[in-house]
Amino acid sequence: MTVLAQWPHRTSRILHRGFFSAPSLAAWRRLTNLYIHNGHRSHDKRASGSNAEARRAASAVGHVPHVKSERADAVLRYWLGDTYLTDPPQHVDPERKKLWFMGGPETDQTIKGCFGADVEATAAGKLASWRQGYDALAAIILEDQFTRNVYRGTSKMCSLDKEALALAKELIDSGGQEGIKLAHRIWLYMPFMHSEDLQDQEAGIECFGELLGQTQALPGGGEPLAAVLKDNHQYAVAHRDVILKWGRFPHRNKILGRESTEEEERAMREGNVPSF
């Protein structure tokens, strides 16, 4: 029986990533700002009445009917692109890859400014309604990805990893991933890679392996998406190997206030432990 045998629900849908253009980003920011009220964002209410301007801003960036929460839609548009549900299936925008895998201080500041309150809200349990479909995926991205941007270099970077993983497992177990395009599942499976539990790591390898296989079965071998997934699968194996050897990610020890063993210290000094 495979690691994921208890999760039988699978489909073969796939994504395209679009780039968040400057005009739509400006419109999106207007929408974001209008959700601030008395120091808090209204996370799950549609703009109405006095929020007419917010509706106009939402119209400027488009509306995704598959997502119940407009705040979830904002997260997804920023991370996946404005047309994340309608783009051609095998297209991968190089600029989107830069955002995901080559971010820096500017990206951290943008995410902190635009989504910091959303990260705080999910940490406080205020986004508990985001449990299905793309709303759940948005919550996972907040908990697993944006925490790393908002809290870079602090113990809070990993503070919502368990919540992200639990929600990912819930979505897989319920069959909810069937409504998620294939390549968007990269972000559904990332929490497995961040776990310090070996069984989770093995499950993550299986998830990414299956994802790659389904993609390669598409016309043209699923390129260029397949190339991205090959890298994801290799990184999943590399993460697993660290946990297999050390039982944890040694490079997290300092920010988490954990004492490193002499062997870990030596291996890190010599560059023999990937800095996951």
Q: Residue 157 pLDDT > 50, yes or no?
A: yes
Ranges of each domain in the chain:
22-269
DSSP-based three-state secondary structure for 275: coil
Q: pTM for this structure?
A: 0.77
pLDDT in tens, 56-114: 333 333 334 378 999 999 999 999 988 888 876 677 777 888 899 888 999 999 999 99
Is 163 in contact with 143 (CB distance < 8 Å)?
yes
Which CATH number does 22-269 carry? 1.25.40.10
* Per-residue tokens: 43: 């996370």
pLDDT digits (tens, 9 = 90+) for 180-233: 988 899 999 999 999 999 999 999 999 999 999 999 998 899 998 899 999 999
Crossing angle (nearest 10°) for helices 105-123 and 70-80:
150
Q: Which residues pair with 36 in a beta bridge?
A: 41
Q: In 3D, which of 45, 62, 88 has the Cα closest to residue 182?
A: 88
pLDDT of residue 214: 92
